[in-house]
Amino acid sequence: MKPVGDDEVTVGSLKDAVARFIRERGWERFHNPKNLAESICIESSELLENFQWVTTDESETYSEDSERLSSVSSELADVIIYCLAFANVLNIDVAYSVTSKLRECEGRYPKSDFYGRPPNLSKIRKA
């Protein structure tokens, strides 16, 4: 698959491209839910490694640092590819799953209560 932008593909076409890549290499037998969940975590750690020992302020400059942005982008791609492979083996509709979760979160974190507040506040103290 030639590189394309976010507005040029669907989630389904990315899932198909990942499935084709795996099928063409005969890797389906390695791609069970356990191995893929582990791979998602391993690649997430590689993404996180890009931020080891830097300050929050330094991390916010990555978008202007082509070398660091390239490394972060590559690790993010690894995470997403494994997430799409995981969705493929469990027949998870990614768009439905994400939009359903966002809808659930809209109910859990109403704008009126959480605007400007971190989402880890599970309970809001009201006077």
Interface contacts to Mg ion, rule CB under 5 A:
43, 46, 75, 78
Report which of 46, 35, 40, 36 is spatially closest to residue 73, judged by C-alpha positions. 46
Taking the least distance from each CB to Mg ion, the nearer of 42 and 105 is 42
Angle between helices 33-49 and 66-89 (to 10 degrees): 170
> What is the C-alpha separation between 38 and 34, in angstroms, rounded?
6
Nearest distance from C-beta of residue 64 to Mg ion, angstroms: 23
Taking the least distance from each CB to Mg ion, the nearer of 46 and 109 is 46
Taking the least distance from each CB to Mg ion, the nearer of 43 and 72 is 43
Nearest distance from C-beta of residue 79 to Mg ion, angstroms: 8
Taking the least distance from each CB to Mg ion, the nearer of 16 and 46 is 46
Nearest distance from C-beta of residue 47 to Mg ion, angstroms: 8
Beta-carbon contacts of residue 14 (< 8 Å; ≥ 6 apart): 80, 84
Report which of 3, 26, 17 is spatially closest to residue 87, judged by C-alpha positions. 17
Report which of 72, 74, 82, 9 is spatially closest to residue 1, judged by C-alpha positions. 9
> What is the C-alpha separation between 23 and 85, in angstroms, rounded?
11
**Which residue number places its CB atom closest to Mg ion?**
78
Nearest distance from C-beta of residue 106 to Mg ion, angstroms: 33
